[in-house]
């Protein structure tokens, strides 16, 4: 027998032994394990929805809702952390964490919580998904105009009438006493109930302030009573003030002792000078918008790649690949020696 034939026979023997061992000896060749190699990916499925909840005088609740998506193998110890940062200072103002436990089924699950923050300024709301203590995805949204939220105790559908034909507050001269140098003004506030229920326990307070000194010259109040839905009523009173001065006339609407609205007009009694009501106002509204610049997760892109369902690690031992490598190595050795 030549040397080449001997080496080829030895390589074949190694292959036969490896294949027999795979059949006879359990665990010699690796087999797929039932244990997953890595947990399935989880991510924020949609931007967090923000809505105002209970509103107090100094604080307000932000009701947060989102969904978390899970795919692939079971993911253990999944939680969602919600944080509210002050939009100007960046300081953390509120935080809540919701534990989801183990996610087995593929799909999305709803997650919601409530954060209580100060009723002023704006906030950046951050939603972060954790798996086994590791942050894997994050989203951000911006909330502005918290001061526009009306406290629960001050909520009413009655407002000063907003119409070009009907002013919210009208002022007229009712009488003049030249001997006493006094003028009686008739002031009337127009109020409209824009809601669906009857509103009562309403009161309007009128104040006349001398324009130059800002001193209160007169005040009066009027009980409104009940206003049915969609109806408009007037609350009127008289104010007696010194003549030949100009006045700012303010009307304040109270519901059960809570200030819910104001209106202003003027009374020009000085013939040499006139004033106008300052109608410059800045509308503040509660607003939720996307956070420009993205959060820790960029626009919600997970920090991990979505993995397919995988198998566990292999047990130590020979594999068919090892046997093939051994056969190839023996053939190469035989070829070199034949040269």
The full DSSP string for 140-163 is EEEEE-GGGSPPGGG--SEEE---
Question: Is residue 292 in some structural domain?
Answer: no
What pLDDT score was predicted for residue 31? 52
What pLDDT score was predicted for residue 290? 73
Question: Is residue 326 in some structural domain?
Answer: yes
How confident is residue 190, by pLDDT bands cut at 50, 70 and 90? very high
17 and 93 together in one domain: no
What pLDDT score was predicted for residue 153? 84
196 and 218 together in one domain: yes
Domain ends where: 241, 268, 295?
A: 268
Residue with tokens 């997650």: 111
What pLDDT score was predicted for residue 323? 52
143 and 159 together in one domain: no
Length of the chain: 339
Question: Is residue 17 in some structural domain?
Answer: yes
Question: Is residue 306 in some structural domain?
Answer: no
What pLDDT score was predicted for residue 253? 95
Instruction: Give the distance from CA 236 to its chain's centroid.
Output: 43
- What does the pLDDT look like over 69-116, one tens digit per residue? 999 999 999 999 999 999 999 999 999 999 999 999 999 999 999 999
164 and 257 together in one domain: yes
- What does the pLDDT look like over 299-313, one tens digit per residue? 443 444 444 444 444
165 and 257 together in one domain: yes
86 and 183 together in one domain: no
What pLDDT score was predicted for residue 306? 41
CB atoms within 10 A of CB 104: 11
Question: Is residue 278 in some structural domain?
Answer: no
Of 38-47, 185-194, 279-288, 320-329, where does mean pLDDT reach its minimum?
A: 320-329
Question: Is residue 36 in some structural domain?
Answer: no
Domain ends where: 95, 123, 149?
A: 149
What pLDDT score was predicted for residue 305? 40
The whole-number average pLDDT for the span 135-160 is 92
126 and 81 together in one domain: yes
- What does the pLDDT look like over 41-57, one tens digit per residue? 999 998 999 999 999 98
Q: What is the DSSP string of 270-315?
A: -TT--------------EEEE-TT-BTTBTT--SSPPPPP---PPP
Residue 214 has pLDDT above 80, yes or no: yes
188 and 237 together in one domain: yes
Domain ends where: 118, 149, 180?
A: 149
Q: What is the DSSP string of 26-81?
A: TTSS----SS-SSPPPEEE-SPPEEEEEEE-SSEEEEEEEEEEEE-SS-EEEEEEE
What pLDDT score was predicted for residue 287? 86
Question: Is residue 301 in some structural domain?
Answer: no
75 and 55 together in one domain: yes
pTM of the model: 0.63
Residue 293 has pLDDT above 60, yes or no: no
CATH number of the structural domain spanning residue 210? 2.60.40.10
Question: Is residue 300 in some structural domain?
Answer: no
91 and 194 together in one domain: no
Residue range(s) defining the domain that contains residue 332: 3-31+314-338
Higher pLDDT, 155 or 234: 234
Q: Structurally, how many domains does the chain consist of?
A: 3
């Amino acid at each position: 027998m030549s040397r080449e034939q001997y080496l080829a026979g030895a390589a074949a023997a190694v292959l036969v032994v490896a294949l027999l061992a795979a059949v006879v000896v359990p665990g010699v060749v690796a087999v797929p394990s039932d244990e997953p190699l890595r947990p399935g990916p989880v991510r924020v499925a949609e931007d967090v929805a923000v809505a105002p909840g209970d509103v107090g005088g100094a604080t307000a609740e932000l009701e947060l809702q989102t969904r978390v998506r899970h795919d692939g193998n079971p993911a253990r110890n999944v939680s969602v952390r919600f944080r509210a940062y002050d939009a100007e200072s960046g300081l953390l103002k509120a935080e809540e964490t919701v534990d989801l436990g183990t996610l087995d089924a593929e799909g999305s699950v709803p997650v919601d919580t409530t954060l209580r923050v100060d009723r002023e300024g704006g906030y950046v709301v951050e939603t972060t998904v954790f798996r086994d203590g590791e942050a894997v995805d994050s989203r951000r949204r911006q909330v502005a105009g918290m001061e526009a939220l009306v406290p629960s105790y001050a909520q009413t559908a009655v407002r000063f009438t907003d119409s070009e034909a009907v002013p919210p507050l009208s002022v007229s001269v009712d009488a003049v006493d030249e001997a006493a140098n006094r003028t009686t003004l008739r002031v009337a506030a127009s109020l409209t109930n824009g809601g669906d229920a009857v509103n009562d326990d309403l009161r309007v307070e009128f104040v006349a302030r001398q324009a130059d000194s800002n001193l209160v010259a007169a005040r009066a109040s009027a009980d409104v009573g009940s206003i049915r839905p969609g109806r408009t009523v007037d609350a009127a009173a008289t104010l007696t003030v010194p003549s030949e001065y100009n006045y700012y006339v303010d009307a304040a609407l109270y519901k059960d002792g809570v200030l819910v609205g104001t209106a202003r007009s003027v009374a020009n009694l000085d013939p040499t000078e006139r004033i106008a009501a300052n109608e410059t106002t800045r509308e503040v509204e509660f607003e939720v918008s996307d956070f420009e610049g993205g959060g820790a997760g960029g626009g919600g892109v997970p920090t991990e790649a979505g993995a397919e369902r995988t198998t566990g690690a292999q047990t130590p031992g020979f594999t068919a690949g090892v046997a093939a490598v051994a056969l190839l190595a023996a053939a190469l050795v035989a070829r070199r020696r034949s040269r």
